[in-house]
Amino acid sequence: MRITLIDVGATNLPSVERAFQHLGAATERATVPEQIAAATALVLPGAGRLGAVMRALDAQQLLEPIREALARKTPFLGIGPGMHALYEASDEEPPQAGFAVFAGHVLPLPENAQCPHLGWNQLQQVRPGRLLRGLSEKAWFYFAHTAAAPAAQESPATSRRVLEMRPSGAKAVEHPASSVAVCRHGGAFVAAAEIEKVFAVQFRPEKSGDAGLDVLRNFLEAAR
Amino acid sequence: MTLARRILACVETESARLKSGPQDHRGDSGDPAELAGHLCQEGADELVVIETRAAQGGRTAFLELVRRLAAQLPIPLTAGGGIHSIADARAVLRAGADRVMVNSAAVRAPQLIDELSAEFGAESLVLAVDARRVADAWEVFFRGGQEATGRDAVAWAREGSERGAGEILVTALDRKGTRDGYDTALTAAVSAQVSVPVTASGGAGTPDDFLAAFTEGRADAAMAASIFHHGDVSIRNLKQYLDSRGVLVRI
């Protein structure tokens, strides 16, 4: 089982790498298109804004290889901004388009919520999925972020500025099929999502103790 | 589902070795990584490692320590000590720290906060505010607590959060090492002024001190060092106690 970590300088890549190695997976760091094309399982870790991540992917000419890998249904895990990349777009300043595997937008956290969302929180599973298989509802995960994809069951508490950016007539964000678990901070947001073999987590699995390792182990299982 | 209050374990180092000093009763216990592993096992929510001799040649050894800690710990790691620039911060983050902490450099050049936040994200940046009580308020001290700045600590914390620090670590220098309890009035004053998480530091001695930090002190997290290192307070028992008193903690 070889995990290909897409490397555009994300500061948390070494920790993610270490976690997969701890679970017995072989890992490699991919910086060129050929490595993405040859990968059998891809992970996109990230820190910071989606805009910076997508610009870095573009600079290394990795956008198209990733699109192709997703089209080929290569197992894929996005973490943090790596998750945001899988949505249609992030409206966090500056706005940035993503790969549009999951429907909807990522928005800045609601104004009534402490920002960043920083610390240990719990999830509510909203539909069965492979990523959280076997995990207790009481499990704690570490979050450190300033934006997230709002959950389907509540209208996002968006700031006025974000609403203005939306094309007129656009309705509230919908995440019909991809949301597996939500977390609440200000409002409910997607904490884990999956469609077929594309998985995404808002929390930092490599820094979430044993529960985080269980999630990564589930990804390894699903990626076989 | 809400955020748990966090218990942070702090380790101070001198050129990447455990620091011993007047307030540490039992001296150098050895390798910081071994201590860090123990604290993690005990249930620490995060490790904070502060290098006190970065400017005096300790930087390289410290980066190596950060690398080792990050490789070994499945919990978040915040690293500080002599971070003066984007390059310094990048080196520490690339070594594996999840967050960097700035103190004196930010006091001297506050725009450093804006720059670091823009580059790495607010969630990657902690502003450490060291304060001493002066009359009815608190004054910011820097350079290891030696030098007064004439600046109001609460106002500085607020400015730091507005400039982009994702968390404020407030240390009551008068309480540090005394085990007389946190300065809850200070943390409450800061919490009231900032919209980012606030961590209390300085003075923890008993589990009730932590309870006070979370209640009267309105802190989101509480940090301690030597009481955890030497087992005077077990993090595991502390969390059970806090849980029994209605504080949401990760157990």
**A171: its two tokens:** 């309705």
CA-CA distances (angstroms) from residue A1 to A43, A132, B5, B16? 13, 20, 38, 36
Best residue in A120, A141, A153, A154 for a mutation probing chain B (most B CBs within 10 Å): A120
For residue A114, list chain B residues with Cβ-Cβ distance below 8 A: 3, 195-197, 220
For residue B121, list chain A residues with Cβ-Cβ distance below 8 A: 47-49, 116, 146
**ipTM > 0.85 (yes/no):** yes
- Residue scoring higher pLDDT (A165 or B84): B84
Strand order in the sheet with A42-44: A26-30, A2-6, A42-44, A76-79, A198-201, A187-195, A179-185, A124-125
For all residues of chain B together, what is the average pLDDT? 93
**B32: its two tokens:** 């910081």
Among the partner residues A48, A121, A213, nearest to B74 by beta-carbon distance: A213
Residue B25 confidence (pLDDT) above 50: no
Cβ <8 Å between B4 and A146: no
Residue B136 confidence (pLDDT) above 50: yes
Strand order in the sheet with A96-97: A96-97, A89-90, A105-108, A147-148
CA pair distance B38, B9, nearest whole angstrom: 11
- What is the average pLDDT across A43-56? 90
Residue A205 confidence (pLDDT) above 50: yes
CA pair distance A12, B95, nearest whole angstrom: 9
CA-CA distances (angstroms) from residue A182 to A101, A123, A151, B19? 18, 6, 7, 42
Q: What is the DSSP string of B137-160?
A: EEEEEETTTTEEEEEEHHHHHHHH
- What is the average pLDDT across B56-67? 91
For residue A185, list chain B residues with Cβ-Cβ distance below 8 A: 2-3
Tens of pLDDT along A51-60?
Answer: 989 999 999 9
Among the partner residues B6, B75, B98, nearest to A209 by beta-carbon distance: B75
Cβ <8 Å between A146 and B121: yes
For residue B100, list chain A residues with Cβ-Cβ distance below 8 A: none
- Residue scoring higher pLDDT (A73 or A169): A73
CA pair distance A217, A19, nearest whole angstrom: 10
Could you tell me which residues are beta bridge partners of residue A189?
A150, A183
**B146: its two tokens:** 């030696």
CA pair distance B87, B2, nearest whole angstrom: 35
Q: Among the listed ranges A126-130, A156-160, B12-16, B86-90, which one has the minimum average pLDDT value?
A: A156-160
Among the partner residues A122, A146, A212, nearest to B123 by beta-carbon distance: A146
- What is the average pLDDT across A183-191? 94
CA pair distance B202, A163, nearest whole angstrom: 43
Residue B106 confidence (pLDDT) above 80: yes
